[in-house]
Structure formats: C-alpha cells, structure tokens
Amino acid sequence: MNLQSILKSIYAFYITCLGKLFFWVKPKKRIVLIASFPDNARAILKAYENDAFDFKLKVLLTQHAKGLANEFPNQNCSVIDQENPVHIVKAIHCMLSSKAVLIDNYYLMVTALRHRPDIECIQIWHANGAFKKFGLKDLTIQNYSERDFARYKKVYRSFDKIVVGSEHMAHIFQESFGVEENHFLKIGVPMTDMYFEKETQSNQIRERLAISSEKKILLYAPTFRDEDFGRVRLPFKESHLKDDLNEEYVLLIKLHPVMKNQFSHVDSPWIKDVSDIALDELLKACDILISDYSSVPFEFALLNKPVLFFTYDLEEYDKKRGLIDNYLSVIPGQACSDAAMLIKQLKDTSLLKREVKQFSNEWNRYSEGNSTQRLLDYLTVKMN
C-alpha cells in the first residue's frame, strides 16, 4: 500500500468516526447541495430562488464552483475545502442535519450517511452522458489496492438515488457505480433546462468578438487530457478556413482552465481563443460544435445543431483513459483524425443534423426543459 492510499484510508476512517460521533443529530426540513461543478447547482439555485418552497436549502461549494456564491448572494452558500478537517466536520454535521443531500461528484464524506436511512443521498452528476469510462469501469482501477476498491464501492453504495436523462445513462451508471435499477430518478438532468430557454446570446457573442453575421461559427471544445494537458492540437489551420472552407467559418477555441494556461495563441480574424466565455453561451451562439471525448455533445444535441468529432488520438486515448465500448457507433457522426476528414463532414451538415436529432432523442429522453422543477417537486414530497 502506497502513502497516498494510506492517507485516504485515514481520511475515510476520520469520516466514519465523525458519522458515529454525530449519531445524536436529527435531520430537519432542509436540503444540502454539495457542488464541484456549477451548471446543475446554478439551475437548482435559480429555481429555488424564483419560487417559494417550504424547506431550507444549504449549499456547500468546492473551489471549482465557488463563483456561485457571488451569483446567488441571497442564498445560504459556503465554500469548503475537502482537505480541511474543520470544514469536513461542518459539512458532515450539515448533511446529517438535513433530510436530503444532493451531490454532483464523487465525495468520500457521503459515506457518513451509510447508516442513516432517514436521509436520502441523491447523485445528480455533472454530465448527462458519457463517452469516457469512470467509476468501477475506470481503467486505472486495476492499480487500486483492495482497500481502495472497497472505499470506492462504499461511496457508490451511499447513493440512494441517481438522476438520469436517459436509459443509456442509467445503464452506464449501473455498471460504473454497481447500483440497481431502482436507484434512478428518470426526470432529466437540471443543467439541460437552459438549452430549452429562448436563445439570446448569439448576436451578443458575435458583436463581442467582431464576427460578421455572414460567417458561421465553429466551436472547438476539447476534453481535458490528464497526462498531456499542455498539448492543444487545433482541428483547422487558418489556411483550411480560408481556402478549403471558402472563408465561410470562424473557429472559436474553448479550453479547460489548465489547458488555457499552457496554450499560446495570438488571436486572428479566423481563430479566436474564447476560453474566458461561459460554455453555455458559446454553445448557443455557435453553428457547429467540434468535440472529441467530452460529455458536451450530449447537452449540445438539445440545440439540434451539428457536431464534429476530432479524435486524432483515439487509440492512444482509449488505451490510457478508456472510452465506452461502442464509442464509434454512439457518436452522431464520424470520428475524424485530421482536417481533411472534418472538411468532408462539413460538406453535408443536413446529414449531421439528422444524426444529432436521433442521438438527442436517445440520450436526452427524460430532459424536457423542466428537470430542475421535477427534482424540486420530488424533494418537496420527501420533506413532508
């Protein structure tokens, strides 16, 4: 057992002890939301703020989602550090004194709820689809010790319900978390509601970036690569956009914050770095998305716009990170390894739209624009 595994075991033991020490704490009419990603939490906070509910909402934000505290100053939001023992004590007490706990990621501290049937833990996850393997299907699991593996399974067994937007995702969760069919809330994913709202950002983005209305916008939003986050390979050069694509398109680049810090590019009229602009605004403004193994296409498909897949490192990525077994048949389009293949795909965008529509019908089956309200309605019933 390595040092990291030992430290995680000590951390897990600390959480178990806190759960037992707080045996006397009784849940009250309150929900606690623990968020590492802003989109689902934002949808829930927005709906909660705009309506009257007879239960309290407490929000615990990790560093990645801490900006929500400024977005919703009137809500009860706190920023926590999961490595701070005092913060963990407060978070566990907060969970044990609430009737329901909503989470959007893997949190070891939810194991404190394992023997509290009076408290429901609901996993809303941070994506409504998956091309990459995770959980018990993660390729790195083969490097775990038996103790590590048991700890992961203990966290997954703490989930009483899991929110899903499709039968496909329910199946993936069953395999990735080792849960049964009765664990799923088939109400759609809250973060998808924004894609049913009236589109208003398109002209604002064009004006902000000085893009003519005659130009079509290609948005390149690659996934974060764990082992090589400094490498950014663009799908097109300026020459492709000018010559091969007849000056019809402008390429926008949206990178993960860590990738952006390693990316050196001087903006031009043809290629622009837009990493500082919110993803949902860019998705609504663009005409075509270029992705790879990211979960972004699942929500983007709700806009009924084409998706291209730039998978220049497909075999390498699959070997190191792990993709779902039927990745090539699931994606709405063709896996393209170079600019020539992408250009060929762009010749028939009507075919791409038809494929995206079918893809969305399958993967967004339960996401109909009211998923947040359906979740809050479910919780309202649980509170009474």
pLDDT at 35: 98
Q: What domains sit in the chain, N to C, each tagged with a CATH number?
A: 3-188+368-383 (3.40.50.11820), 197-363 (3.40.50.12580)
pLDDT at 145: 85
pLDDT at 202: 66
Give per-residue burial for 111-121: e unless 16+ CB within 10 Å, then b: bbbeebeebbb
pLDDT at 225: 78
pLDDT at 42: 97
**What distance in Å separates the CA atoms of residue 24 and residue 203, rounded to the nearest whole number?**
56
Each residue of 59-93: pLDDT tens digit?
A: 999 999 999 999 999 999 999 999 999 999 999 99
**What distance in Å separates the CA atoms of residue 167 and residue 362, rounded to the nearest whole number?**
8
pTM of the model: 0.94
pLDDT at 261: 67
pLDDT at 263: 72
pLDDT at 140: 82
Q: How far apart are the first and last CA of the chain?
A: 46
pLDDT at 165: 98
The DSSP 8-state label assigned to residue 103 in this structure reads E
Report, as ranges of residue numbers, the positions in the chain whose pLDDT lies below 70.
1, 199-202, 226-230, 258, 260-262, 264, 266
